[in-house]
Amino acid sequence: MKNIFAEKMTPFRMIIGAYVFSMLLFSLLLWLPISHQPGHELTYIEALFTSVSAVSVTGLTVIQVSDTLSAVGIAFLALAMQVGGIGIMSLGTFVWMVFGRKINLSQRLLIMVDQNQYKFSGMVKLMRNILLLALGIEAMGMLILGTYFLRYFDSTWEAYYQGGFAALSAFTNAGFDVTGQSLIPFAEDYYVLFVVITLIFAGAIGFPVLMEVREYLTNRERFNFSLFTKVTTTTYFLVFVLGAVSIWALEFGFYYDGMAWHQQFFFSMFNSATTRSAGLSVMDVSAFSMPTLLLMSGLMVIGASPSSVGGGIRTTTLAVMFLTIRSFALGRSDVKVFNRQIDPEDKQRTFIVISFFIVGLLAAITLISAFERGNTEVELIDIIFETSSAFGTCGLSTGLTDDFSTPSHLLLMCLMFIGRVGILVFLFSVKKKETKSHYRYPIERIIIG
């Protein structure tokens, strides 16, 4: 018996199993009466949706957290976000290290994963490092925001509670809030926005990048950043800037009409950062016009770095896609960037991630629009926005998540789950053992496109 279990239990299936287990566990905990405020109840579907959303650090919600959950419930929620955020970073990083041994990450990272004994001891070391780094950043965020929040809240406890939750929510990119209205109360406080954007970056830029930066800071002379770090950081910030400029261009004269330039500047920056894929908001997102909501859906689909708390197709996927098109148009057969060549295997993965994501997203949008056919509240743009938000595990919403019907909620949960686990891990988990074929078929060309 044990043998069959061990044989079937690939690392990928273990990851899937860990997520399923956490989601079910927290759904039960959030379902307990002790987790609710007096007079409020949750259906199991609501508890499950909240749990899936928290563990996948998405932040879509069908309940008003601050009105519905008790202190205990909020503690469970925070724990779910923490488990989700840190689990993702460590499991994600671990998988890719074991998996693509040739990824030239920093020496310190590689040492953690001993060549032959990575199964347990390396995992523990890695987890400890990630945990320390994450808790350190969160504690710093809590200290900075909490202390600053003393001017907003009456009690010291309340200020640090709000600051801590905001820091946790920003760094894990979970996007939940206990203010009842996300960051809207601080919309015009640029100091808060700046700190929150920084925390979002720290979570979304990817754990390997943080480790490399730390190593670089201690040893500037002999350090080379990996290709991964260069590609993902460049892409992340390039899309961030393009996103901010595009949001500004689309809303100039519309939502931004009559707003001071510095507020336009900070709103564009914040909205560009939060769509990738934090999910916190400083305004009612549905106040943006349709082209902006479409653009933001696209940004949510792009998402953050791999091995980070963010979702989406991820930065490197987008980068390899554009680099491949460019090198094709330039008549080159190989794809080059930063004096390196992209591995054909990584091109193949890029292709699969993009195809799978696009097909899944379009199918989900069509299905939800069928489920919500009789629902006059919900428009197509809401469905597109909500679906992109779930699949990209972003959590921004035009405010209609709880107006959707149960079939749509179930579908959104599936999207958050797959979006979180990652498409490749999902595919690897269903993957059979590599089949050695006895013979190769002849290659025959066909006409494409």
Residues in region 221-260 near a copy of itself by CB under 8 A: 226-228, 231-232, 250, 254
Instruction: Point out which span in 98-106, 169-177, 372-380, 400-408 binds K ion (CB under 5 A).
Output: 169-177
By CB under 8 A, residue 343 contacts a copy of itself: yes
Residues in region 372-401 near K ion by CB under 5 A: 394-395
Which pair of structure tokens corresponds to residue 26? 């927290």
Which secondary structure element, helix H or strand E, spans residue 140, and what is its range? helix 123-149
**What residue has token string 């498409």?**
423
Nearer to K ion (CB atom), residue 48 or residue 300? 300
Q: Identify the residue among 316, 389, 393, 408 touching a copy of itself (CB under 8 A).
A: 316
Q: Identify the residue among 276, 314, 409, 420 touching a copy of itself (CB under 8 A).
A: 314
Pick from a copy of itself, K ion, none: which does 184 bind, CB < 5 to 8 A by kind?
none
Between CA 254 and CA 108 the distance in angstroms is 50
Tell me the one-letter amino acid at 273. A
Pick from a copy of itself, K ion, none: which does 102 bind, CB < 5 to 8 A by kind?
a copy of itself
Q: Identify the residue among 175, 206, 303, 419 touching K ion (CB under 5 A).
A: 175
Pick from a copy of itself, K ion, none: which does 175 bind, CB < 5 to 8 A by kind?
K ion
Which pair of structure tokens corresponds to residue 300? 């949510």
How far apart, in Å, are the Cα atoms of 419 and each of 146, 387, 415? 32, 11, 6
Relative orientation angle of helices 380-391 and 406-421, to the nearest 10 degrees? 40
Please give the size of the binding site for a copy of itself, defined by CB under 8 A.
Answer: 87
By CB under 8 A, residue 422 contacts a copy of itself: yes
What's the closest the beta carbon of residue 410 comes to K ion, in angstroms? 20
User: Residue 139: phi, psi to the nearest 5?
Assistant: -65, -40
Residues in region 92-121 near K ion by CB under 5 A: none
What's the closest the beta carbon of residue 398 comes to a copy of itself, in angstroms? 13
x/- map, 185-214, a copy of itself, by CB under 8 A: -----------------------x------
Q: Identify the residue among 121, 332, 377, 407 touching a copy of itself (CB under 8 A).
A: 332
What's the closest the beta carbon of residue 289 comes to a copy of itself, in angstroms? 6
Cβ pair 244, 269 in contact under 8 A: yes
Cβ pair 115, 158 in contact under 8 A: no
DSSP 5-28: HHHH--HHHHHHHHHHHHHHHHHH
Residues in region 257-296 near K ion by CB under 5 A: 277, 279
Residues in region 54-83 near K ion by CB under 5 A: 58-59
Between CA 413 and CA 50 the distance in angstroms is 9
Instruction: Point out which span in 110-118, 130-138, 196-204, 324-332 binds a copy of itself (CB under 8 A).
Output: 324-332
Which pair of structure tokens corresponds to residue 151? 């001017």
By CB under 5 A, residue 90 contacts K ion: no
Pick from a copy of itself, K ion, none: which does 352 bind, CB < 5 to 8 A by kind?
a copy of itself
By CB under 8 A, residue 13 contacts a copy of itself: no
Relative orientation angle of helices 156-171 and 123-149, to the nearest 10 degrees? 140
**What residue has token string 């990209």?**
392
Residues in region 371-410 near a copy of itself by CB under 8 A: 373, 379-381, 384
Q: Which residues pair with 337 in a beta bridge?
A: 340
What Rg, from alpha-carbon coordinates, does the chain have?
22
SS3 307: coil
User: Residue 36: phi, psi to the nearest 5?
Assistant: -110, 155
Q: From 370, 380, 441, select the one nearest 408 (Cα to Cα).
A: 370
Q: What is the DSSP letter of 120?
A: I
By CB under 8 A, residue 110 contacts a copy of itself: no
Q: List residues binding K ion (CB under 5 A).
A: 58-59, 173, 175, 277, 279, 394-395
